Every structure is written in structure tokens, then in C-alpha cells.
Amino acid sequence: MPNWFCGRLTLRSDDTEKMKELEMFVKMNTDDDGHVENECKVGDNFSNKYCPLDWTGIPDDVGTIQDDGTRWDFNTACNQWGSKWGIGRIITLDFDEVEGLRMRYNSAWSMPITMFGKIADKGYEVTSYGHCVDFYQYFDSDLGTETEEIVSEVEESSTEEEVEEVAVEEVQVDSESEEVQAEEENSEEIAEAEAEVIEDVDAIEEEDSELFAEIQQTLAEAAVAELDE
């Protein structure tokens, strides 16, 4: 089982007859609701119709005969289509009078660029784009082909220096976290100590006030005694 390349394709021509042929292909390979009933079979139909494999100079014992009567060989297909199945399967298929044939398709591992180039040589305008596991591909019969790698956010090829920098940053963060935690613990201890001091002060003030009241009472009694004398 391959990793599927998921692509979109438009195929058109300024030749009226070619456009009618494209429209007929769509009608022949979709049901009344425009659905593709057998995705792989329709993919084979497209590949073999618009870019049949050329067996010139290839020994007769090379390849196998498929259920639809066509001949297929892995290496021959890869060389002439750019993918072992060409269009592996067609997901959606329709026709537009301006854009021509339009489809969503799958192919094995990559876009069948060689196939599209050969179809373009027959007088068609071909445009396709899509993606596989780790790259995008774009093909335009007028502009050419472009492949762009999908780069992950974290590069696997980090240098030792970068790894060390990250490690140092992590240590600094851990140290800062420990300092913050220590400060919080100290502040809690200080708050508890302050609360204890306040309680002690309040207790002392209460005792002092009682003693002051006793002294005042004793002095008052002494003064009364002197008056009585």
C-alpha cells in the first residue's frame, strides 16, 4: 500500500473536438448523479486513454495483462507515467465548459508528472497540484513543475550547540522557578513570624493595661486613706 499523493487536476484544450472528448469521458465514467462508482477502474481508464504505455522495444514477456485487457509493468509505468499506477484512482470527476475536465485524484507516492507532460504534448493544457506525506507538488503545462518540502516546526537536525543552548535555558528556567518558590516559602515564614509577634505584643499590651489599672486603683486607695487620716 503506497502513501497516496492527493491531487487536483484540470485538463482543457482550445480544440473543440478535444473538449467534447473530455466531456464524453466524464459522462462515460460517472453515474447519473455525477458520482464515480469505481475509483480505481476510472483511474485506469484515464491513464490508458490519455497516456497509454508505449511498449515499443520492450520484450513481450515483460509485464502482465490486467483485467481490462491492458498491459502493465511496474518499471515501465514508473518511467512513462512518473508513478506506478499513473492516476491510481479518481475521487471526483466533472466537466466545465471553460475549465474542461476537473478531478480529484490519488496517485502512488507522487504526482504522475511524466504522464501530465505527455498529455500536454498532445495539445492539452494541464494544471495539477497536491501533496503527499512531506511535500507539495505543482504542475502547469505552461510554467513547469515545482516541488516544495513540508518542513516541520521542530527540525530534527539541530546542532549540538542549539541543543546545549536549549538545555541552558531549561536550567535557567528551573533555577528561576526554585528562587521564586524559595521566596514564596520565606514570605510565608515571615508572615507567620509577624503574626506571632503581633499576638505577643497584644498580649503584653493587655497585661500592661491590667497592671496599669491595678496601680491606678492602689494609688487611689492610698490617697483616700491619707484624707481619712
49 belongs to a structural domain: yes
* Count of CB atoms situated within 10 Å of the CB of 128: 24
155 belongs to a structural domain: no
Residue 75, H or E segment: helix 74-81
State the Cα–Cα distance between residues 148 and 131, nearest whole angstrom: 9
Do 143 and 137 form a contact (C-beta atoms < 8 A)? Answer: no
H runs (alpha helix) in 89-229: 113-121, 160-228
pLDDT tens digit sequence for 16-72: 999 999 999 999 999 988 899 899 999 999 999 999 999 999 999 999 999 889 999
Q: Is the pLDDT of residue 99 over 70?
A: yes
176 belongs to a structural domain: no
Give strand pairing partners of 127.
10, 140
State the Cα–Cα distance between residues 186 and 181, nearest whole angstrom: 9
What is the pLDDT, as a whole number, of residue 14? 96
What is the pLDDT, as a whole number, of residue 143? 87
51 belongs to a structural domain: yes
What is the pLDDT, as a whole number, of residue 113? 95
* Count of CB atoms situated within 10 Å of the CB of 2: 14
As a residue count, the chain comes to 229
* C-alpha separations of 36 from 45, 73, 218 in Å: 12, 26, 114
What is the pLDDT, as a whole number, of residue 144? 86
For 19, the domain range is 4-149
Cβ-proximal residues to 142 (8 Å cutoff; 6+ apart), any chain: 125
What is the pLDDT, as a whole number, of residue 191? 61
State the Cα–Cα distance between residues 167 and 73, nearest whole angstrom: 53
219 belongs to a structural domain: no
Counting the structural domains of the chain, the total is 1
139 belongs to a structural domain: yes
What is the pLDDT, as a whole number, of residue 155? 46
3-class DSSP state for residue 218? helix
State the Cα–Cα distance between residues 227 and 229, nearest whole angstrom: 5
198 belongs to a structural domain: no
The verdict on pTM exceeding 0.95 is no
C-alpha cell at 141: 503545462
Give 62's DSSP letter.
Answer: S
pLDDT tier, 194 (very low <50, low <70, confident <90, very high otherwise):
low
Do 71 and 56 form a contact (C-beta atoms < 8 A)? Answer: no
C-alpha cell at 45: 481508464
Residue 44, H or E segment: helix 39-50
